[in-house]
A and B are shown apart, each in its own frame.
Chain A
Amino acid sequence: MMRGIVSTFRASGSVSQAIQLALVATPLVIALLTSDNALLDSLNQMLIWAALALSWNILGGYARQISVGHVAFYGIGAYTSTLLALNFGISPWLGMLAGGALAALIGALLGSATLRLRGPFFTMATIAFAEVVRILAVNWRSVTRGAEGLAIDSTPNLPGFVFGQARSYVLVTWGLMAVLFAVSKYLDHSKTGLRLRAVRDNEDAARALGIHTFSLRISVLAVSAFFTAICGTFYAQYLLLIDPDSVLGVDASLQMALMAVVGGIGSAIGPVLGTYLLVPFGQVLRAQLGSQLAGLHLVIYGLGLVLVLYKLPNGIWPAIEAALKRRGRASRQRSGLPEEDAR
């Protein structure tokens, strides 16, 4: 895997690589330098969103299957690890793997039922699926305690995945995001990544060349669901309280998709960049305008999104990369060096 990542970096331009690494590393550097708890808090929330956008992008970006029900996997992750800890004393570090596996399994089942059909059917099915999971969490009170939610004991301890300091949370969440970034890069440049490119480009040709498009999509959905569920556990351990609204709300599904789309789907850095821009933008707007006309900050947020996607329909990162390529070509021509290969 390490080799895959290294060759991946060599494949793209070196300036582009440097920017990507800097973007990934920046939150870590800030976390190590600051001791402002409010800042660390925002940072942690942003990193969870980045991890979520990356998880969503594995399916939405690489397989181009647009899910707007991913919050269901998030909730499954949060509830599974929390219930295992509360009822059986199982460490969330293990519980999150169980939640991930459960989400992957359910994702695979959902995929087998819906991914064979082309068109928007899959997207619609994900909405219905998320609603079913939410209703289940609200009504299965004997287990989930319904709308009241589940509280996690806040005494700091490492096996229980509870920390006393905000910085510790930022460090582990950053680790999760970095792992997801690496997994995304690896996936994109693996045999699976090449297959996914083929399917995105021309499905009939891909099938004629022996690519099992159906099982490919199901496995990618399972991987995406797995990581989305892991994010759910991180969120639960950070808030120490989960309820259907916080981990199963419809808007979270839209948020993770939006961040990936704004940053640029189908690349590893796109969802990260999209999150870095949208989360602070949303927080600043709420702080500045939230107390004024109700909903004004949301309207402006929405208009901002429309404007970005109108100008840059492929998202922000592809535009940056294109600009870097143009600049690289121009400077090579000036220095009289031969054109670099397309590869």
Chain B
Amino acid sequence: MSVDLAVENLNKRFGGILAVNGAGLRVASGTIHGIIGPNGAGKTTLFNLIAGSFLPDSGRILLGARDITALTPERRCALGLARTFQIPRPFSGLDLLDNVAIGCLGRARTVGHARQLAHEVLESLGIGRYADTLASALPIGLRKMLEVARAVATAPKLLLLDEVMGGLHGDEVDRMIETIRRINATGVTVVMIEHVLPAIMSLAAQVTVLDQGRILCSGTPEAVTQDPAVIAAYLGDEVLA
């Protein structure tokens, strides 16, 4: 089950900063869509608006045919939207299994059932052996996995991943790429913010570049990385170096 996402002319101001400035975005059902841009470009703020952590000053957000602009985060979750947090926010007093079980509660009859479903999620992501580890004792790589597992646990149709590769080592990145590919293969639409460009290149069908709150351009990864405006604003140093 998947769903498409449309963002229309979204604006969000924090004091003097227009963190998101007239952003528009279309994500086709069942695809992986990358979002890149320099630090402070407004990527996380865009996710916070889509997921409902903040309400936009203006603009619209559509999940499938449904206008979700004014809904609470929990209502959006019930409609099939899940997100991870850039800085992991585990339930630190609980173990990995219960963290994920909380994501399963909406589709479980009992706590025992939720834990059983959570086990399945952990196994499918290959981290079942850490089920009993307290979340506060997990290293960063597994905290990122916890974020993904918890979001997947809600059985989403649209998954927002905010820099889930940040701070991961080489083979951890490879494993995360594989994980995302597998989640997408089950039909989940994925939107991912990522600084690790090779990951975006190998996963995303479409990429959107954000700079100072504005959409600079959208297109295939190849087209986007060759766009002169993108090179100037963001890739410049890396490409020239």
Contacts and interface: CB of A to CB of B under 8 A. Distances in A.
B173 interface: no
Interface residues of A, number: 24
- Counting chain B CB atoms within 10 Å of each CB, the highest count among A190, A209, A212 belongs to A209
A343 B82 CA distance: 27
A208 interface: yes
B154 interface: yes
Interface in A158-213: 189-191, 193-195, 197-198, 201-202, 204-213
B73 A342 contact: no
A197 B90 CA distance: 12
B212 to A, nearest CB: 26
Interface in B122-181: 132-134, 150-151, 153-154
A341 interface: yes
Contacts of A191: 105, 108, 110-111, 114
B132 A194 contact: no
A205 B105 contact: no
A194 B98 contact: yes
Given A194-B102, A201-B94, A342-B134, A207 B73 contact: yes
B132 A343 contact: yes
Given A191-B110, A194-B114, A211 B89 contact: no
Contacts of A193: 111
A198 B101 CA distance: 10
Interface in B91-107: 91-95, 97-98, 101-103, 105-106
Nearest to B106: A210
A213 B53 CA distance: 13
B85 interface: yes
A341 B111 contact: no
A208 B82 contact: yes
Nearest to A214: B72
Contacts of A202: 89-92
Given A191-B114, A210-B106, A198 B91 contact: yes
B74 A213 contact: yes
Contacts of B94: 197-198, 201
Contacts of B82: 208-209
A192 to B, nearest CB: 9
Contact of A208 (B83, B95, B106): B83
Contacts of A190: 111
Interface in A246-300: none
A201 B134 CA distance: 13
B132 A208 contact: no
Contacts of B101: 194
Given A209-B77, A342-B134, A195 B105 contact: yes
B91 A208 contact: no
Contacts of B229: none
Given A208-B74, A342-B134, 5 more contacts: A189-B111, A191-B110, A205-B150, A210-B74, A211-B105
Interface of A: 7, 189-191, 193-195, 197-198, 201-202, 204-213, 341-343
For the complex of A and B, the 7 pairs showing the least CB-CB separation, nearest first, are A210-B77, A201-B91, A205-B89, A207-B73, A198-B102, A209-B103, A210-B106
Interface of B: 51, 53, 72-74, 77-78, 82-83, 85, 89-95, 97-98, 101-103, 105-106, 108, 110-112, 114, 132-134, 150-151, 153-154
